Amino acid sequence: MSRKAIIVGAGHNGLVAACYLAKAGCQVEVLEAGDRPGGGARTDERLPGYRFDMHSVAHNIINMTSIPRELDLKGAGLSYHQMDPFMVAVRADGKRVRFYRSLEKTLESIAGYDPEEAETYAQFMRLAMPLVKLVMPAIRGDTNPFKAYPPLIPELIKALRLEGGPLNLARDLLSPYESLLKRRLKSDLTRGPVSAYAAHGSLGPNVPGAAFFTFWQAAFHLYGQWHAIGGSEALVKALVCRLETLGGKVRCQAPVARIEHRAGQVRAVVLENGERLETAAVITAMHPRTALLDLLEPPLTGKIVKEVAALRTSNVVQGLVHVAVDRLPPYPDIRPEDYLGMQSFVDNLDEMTQGFIQAEAGYLPDPLPLYAFTNSSSDPSLTDTPGHHTVYLACPSTPARLKKGGLAGWDGPLKEVFLEQSLAGLEARAPGFRDTIRGAAAFTPLEMEKLSRWPLGHPMYLDLSLDQLGLFRPTRSLANHRTPVAGLYLSGAGTAPVGGIAGTPGKKAAMALLKDWKII
């Protein structure tokens, strides 16, 4: 007998979950409130003839997992181009430090300015690599930890030896990455750009327990950084294609009003138009608070309500400016390869720290910490005009709620201020950049919330703090993707093990359902 499941939310995690269920022979329907699938992996024509990623611009974690292979996403049309170097520091003083997948090439670039700095970076990566390898079974969603972890014991011993013991390792993991980088790296030559990538987690350098985001720098050396040809949405299109070949379907513009349950068991999903879809299994790929506190009918009661209500999201998100240009940014002393990855304009760590402090308080940072991606340099399909390009300009420390006006304040003059300051920041690194502009559009937290239904425009839904990661995401009792309501499962960026373009939360939610149905 065919089992029927409904997925609420067609971001990449919802689609991954749907694909695994359909692959196991289940009848699957995905409901999406928006006009098309995608979520944080959407790619839109923001300016006529120019297509931009709406949030995720590079895929790292999902390419560390078995998901693309297990779902044969290559066979569904997905292809990637490696971003190597994955980052170049475009400093105001003219120095250009390049970070390659090859650690050796990276050290050569750093040593060109400071051999001692190169050695401190090498030591930091030698420490970070074992730690990254240790968390990979959890990131990949390995189902058998007893099989996955014993081979990694030598990596743990290596990390402890390099740290000088468990107490030093605990100190580094629990510390803010501001203090970690100041202990581990010699100067802002490397501290600045490393903090720029660490800031993708939307946690500032001064936040205790955020240090692992700088250790994650080693993941780019170990596994690479990747751009999906056609934009981030190419992943979504491949997942939809695979789902349809497996017999599943996606239904857009189908916002859910409530999820009904009775006697502790899911019974139906009801759309905002009143349509009722009976089902015994639902996977939600959205904010856990929305799924458990807003949609359930009757509402949940008890301790779980307090736990979910207490989930935290900071006031800091990534603000974007999409720029259409007739040629790539004219950075002085640049190489063609430098356009493949991230171009960091963060010259010093303290500037990044202050940016997060100001944003958390509701102010637009001054100056803006910025970085850029120019994926059209390796992917001409992003523009209609040969030789033209897209520039994805980002500030990782953008306030969601403004001191004056809250989230709605982004409808005021500050949107133009943000746009102008961002363009000025890139012009300062690439004199003559303004002359290349054919159009520019800011993408603010308010617009992110409206487009993707992300509270405060936060694509991760919840902070990636230590108490909301892995076995604690979103809470300890919900980290196995099951809920107090039988047949209701949680997925999405706010569930275990982590946010970002991982796919693991989708796979794990599907595996939990299939296990409960005794299909696996």
Instruction: Determine the pLDDT at residue 142.
Output: 80
Q: Could you read off the pLDDT of 284-318 as tens digits, one per residue?
A: 999 999 999 999 999 999 999 999 999 999 999 99
User: Is residue 356 within 8 Å of 206, Cβ to Cβ?
Assistant: yes
SS in 3 state form for 171-219?
HHHHCCHHHHHHHHCCCHHHHHHHHHHHHHHCCCCCCCCCCHHHHCHHH
Q: Which whole number is the average pLDDT over 490-499?
A: 96
Query: Of 198, 192, 117, 209, nearest to 367 (Cα)?
Result: 192
Run of H or E residues at 342? strand 342-344
- Say if residue 32's pLDDT is above 50: yes
- Say if residue 331's pLDDT is above 50: yes
CATH class (in words) of the domain with range 4-43+59-80+231-311+463-516: alpha beta
Q: In whole numbers, what is the pLDDT of the chain averaged over residues?
A: 95
What does pTM read for this prediction? 0.96
Q: Could you read off the pLDDT of 411-440 as tens digits, one per residue?
A: 999 999 999 999 999 999 999 999 999 999
Place of tokens 């493949």: 340
Q: Which whole number is the average pLDDT over 443-469?
A: 92
Q: Which amino acid is at 198?
A: A
Grouping H, G, I as helix, E, B as strand and the rest as coil, residue 476 is helix
Look up residue 80 and give its two tokens.
């990637």
Place of tokens 């340099």: 377
- Say if residue 112's pLDDT is above 70: yes
Q: What percent of the chain has pLDDT over 70?
A: 98
Instruction: Determine the pLDDT at residue 168.
Output: 84
Q: Which whole number is the average pLDDT over 2-31?
A: 96
Better pLDDT: 221 or 145: 221
- Say if residue 367's pLDDT is above 60: yes
Question: What is the spatial distance between Cα 407 and Cα 415, in angstroms, rounded to a whole number?
Answer: 12
- Say if residue 6's pLDDT is above 90: yes
- Least confident among 142-146, 208-212, 245-249, 380-384: 142-146
Instruction: Determine the pLDDT at residue 146.
Output: 60
- Say if residue 1's pLDDT is above 50: no
Instruction: Determine the pLDDT at residue 58.
Output: 94
- Say if residue 88's pLDDT is above 70: yes
Query: Of 196, 189, 201, 213, nearest to 135 (Cα)?
Result: 213
Domain boundaries, the chain: 4-43+59-80+231-311+463-516, 102-224, 314-457
Place of tokens 């390099």: 162
Q: Could you read off the pLDDT of 50-75 as tens digits, one per residue?
A: 999 999 999 999 999 999 999 999 99
- Say if residue 491's pLDDT is above 80: yes
Look up residue 421 and give its two tokens.
């300051």
Q: Where are the alpha helices (DSSP H) in 56-148?
A: 67-70, 103-111, 115-140, 145-148
Question: What is the spatial distance between Cα 191 and Cα 30, in angstroms, rounded to a whole number?
Answer: 43
- Say if residue 152's pLDDT is above 80: no
Q: State the virtual CA torsion across 64, 52, 394, 498 in degrees, nearest 10.
A: -30
Say how many C-beta atoms besides its own lie within 10 A of residue 300's C-beta: 15
Q: Which whole number is the average pLDDT over 130-148?
A: 82
Q: How confident is the model at residue 337 (pLDDT cuts 50, 70, 90)?
A: very high
Instruction: Determine the pLDDT at residue 169.
Output: 84
Q: Which whole number is the average pLDDT over 34-41?
A: 94
Question: What is the spatial distance between Cα 370 and Cα 18, in angstroms, rounded to a whole number?
Answer: 36
Instruction: Determine the pLDDT at residue 195.
Output: 97
Place of tokens 């997992």: 65
Q: Could you read off the pLDDT of 237-249 as tens digits, one per residue?
A: 999 999 999 999 9
Grouping H, G, I as helix, E, B as strand and the rest as coil, residue 276 is strand
Question: What is the spatial distance between Cα 33 and Cα 509, in angstroms, rounded to a whole number?
Answer: 20
For strands 296-297 and 389-399, give the pairing: unpaired
Q: What percent of the chain has pLDDT over 90?
A: 89
- Whole-number Cα distances in Å, 175 to 8, 164, 369: 37, 16, 22
Q: Which whole number is the average pLDDT over 201-218?
A: 93
Q: What is the DSSP string of 359-405?
A: HHTT---SSPP-EEE-GGGT-GGGBSSTT-EEEEEEEEEEESSBTTT
